[in-house]
Amino acid sequence: MASDAEANHRYNMTIKMFGVSPEPAFETVDEQEFVWGQRWGCDNDVGQIRVVLMHRPGDEMKIIDPSKTIDEIGAYGDLERGWYWQSDTIPPLEEMQVQHDALAKALKAEGAQVVYLDGVSDGRLKSCYTRDSCIAVKGGAVVTRLAGRIRRGEELPVTRKLAELGMPILRTIHGTGMMEGGSFAWLNSKTAVVGRTIRVNDEGIAQLRDVLAHQGVELLVIDMCGYSIHIDGGFCMIDRDLALVDARQIPYWFLQKLGELGIKTIETNLDDNGWIINCLAVSPGRIIAPEGASQRTLEALAKHNVEIVTLPYHAMQLNGGGIHCSTSPLVRDAVE
């Protein structure tokens, strides 16, 4: 029988030979590739997009009944079945699918792998807006907790898809936290911002901040105006040091902060389609955007050498979300 000294020696030799160390960190490229098969996540909103999560509208849309209205909010909907349609027009499902397919095709043409959700059910007609149900951070994803009752339950098929892909889930927002990905944005690899709204509360922010803090990322918090639900209605990064903004929706101090970070801004105007800001950078200075940008905005984009691919997306927007809402990047290249 080995003595205590001999046992300790063997243990120490085992540690020395096989290695027990916190380094390299979880989200480093070598560790990601060794453990998870590839590098996962994002630390910016403009690097070359590699993998993006989407959901093509399908059978869940059958819950919509144009004979049902909710008089209190002046919209189509059914309180008993738990759905609403916030626009005054319900487009044919086929038209929505055509526009969604065109977006997916454009993303593939830009070099992105498009992965689709499975198992969307129970009339969850907002599932096509995958931006909200998960947030890609360094090395993995944060599964959010959607605020609206109409959207609760979207988290399950997202969690299953991430597991199927082999993407690490670093946190699932829990307890009384509310967080939706449309109100989160990367400014650079060390700074992110979240908009506090009726869909994002302090508990949700605290849980997201905890994940980012372990990665050395500062999370700024801005209060969105009135009943704005997400920051991507007023702010979107489109290049390493350039953002598209609706200055009416974001606080002045945040505009100042962008300047301190070296981020220039292009302001939209009343002549723009209101959804133009809900665009998506597919690589630095190249965006996919809906039709309807004003001439002034197009000229400003050109002045900053921003390339723009435009698509019709009005039918999808009638459900309450745009191109940015319909895409959840899971992997982007780093940017300098």
What pLDDT is recorded for position 145? 98
pLDDT tops 60 at residue 1: no
Residue 291 falls inside a structural domain:
yes
Residue 236 falls inside a structural domain:
yes
Sign of CA dihedral 83, 86, 92, 96: negative
What pLDDT is recorded for position 6? 77
pLDDT tops 90 at residue 267: yes
Mean per-residue pLDDT of the chain: 94
Long-range CB pairs of 65-74, under 8 A, 24+ apart, other chains included? 66/90
Nearest C-alpha neighbor of 177 from the set 143, 222, 223: 143
Better pLDDT: 262 or 87: 262
Q: Which residues, in sequence order, are CB contacts of 178 under 8 Å at separation 6+?
A: 145, 146, 147, 199, 200, 201, 203, 204
What pLDDT is recorded for position 18? 66
Average pLDDT over residues 279-289: 98
Contact predicate 235/250, CB 8 Å: yes
pLDDT tops 60 at residue 17: no
Instruction: Give the number of C-alpha atoms closer than 13 A to the C-alpha of residue 24, restricted to the C-beta side.
Output: 10
What pLDDT is recorded for position 11? 64
Residue 19 falls inside a structural domain:
no
Sign of CA dihedral 36, 38, 44, 46: negative
| Secondary structure of 238-291 in HEC code, one letter for each residue | EECCEEEECCCCCCHHHHHHHHHCCCEEEECCCCCCCCCCCCEEEECCEEEEEC
Helices marked H in 53-197 — which ranges?
93-109, 155-165
Residue 309 falls inside a structural domain:
yes
Nearest C-alpha neighbor of 267 from the set 244, 290, 240: 244
**CATH number of the structural domain spanning residue 80:** 3.75.10.10
Residue 24 falls inside a structural domain:
no
pLDDT tops 70 at residue 40: yes
Confidence tier at 274 by pLDDT (50, 70, 90): confident
Average pLDDT over residues 15-41: 87
End-to-end Cα, the chain, rounded Å:
58
Residue 132 falls inside a structural domain:
yes
What pLDDT is recorded for position 178? 98
What pLDDT is recorded for position 21? 82
Tell me the sheet residues that pair with 331. 41, 51
Percent of the chain with pLDDT over 70: 97
* Number of structural domains in the chain: 1
Confidence tier at 5 by pLDDT (50, 70, 90): confident
What pLDDT is recorded for position 227? 82
Average pLDDT over residues 256-269: 97
pTM of the predicted structure, to 2 decimals: 0.93
Sign of CA dihedral 171, 330, 276, 260: positive
What pLDDT is recorded for position 184? 98
Tokens at 213, concatenated: 């803090």
pLDDT tops 70 at residue 146: yes
What pLDDT is recorded for position 15? 58
pLDDT tops 90 at residue 20: no
Confidence tier at 2 by pLDDT (50, 70, 90): low
Average pLDDT over residues 9-29: 77
Q: Which domain holds residue 89?
A: 32-332
Residue 124 falls inside a structural domain:
yes
Residue 2 falls inside a structural domain:
no
Confidence tier at 64 by pLDDT (50, 70, 90): very high
Helices marked H in 19-148 — which ranges?
29-36, 93-109
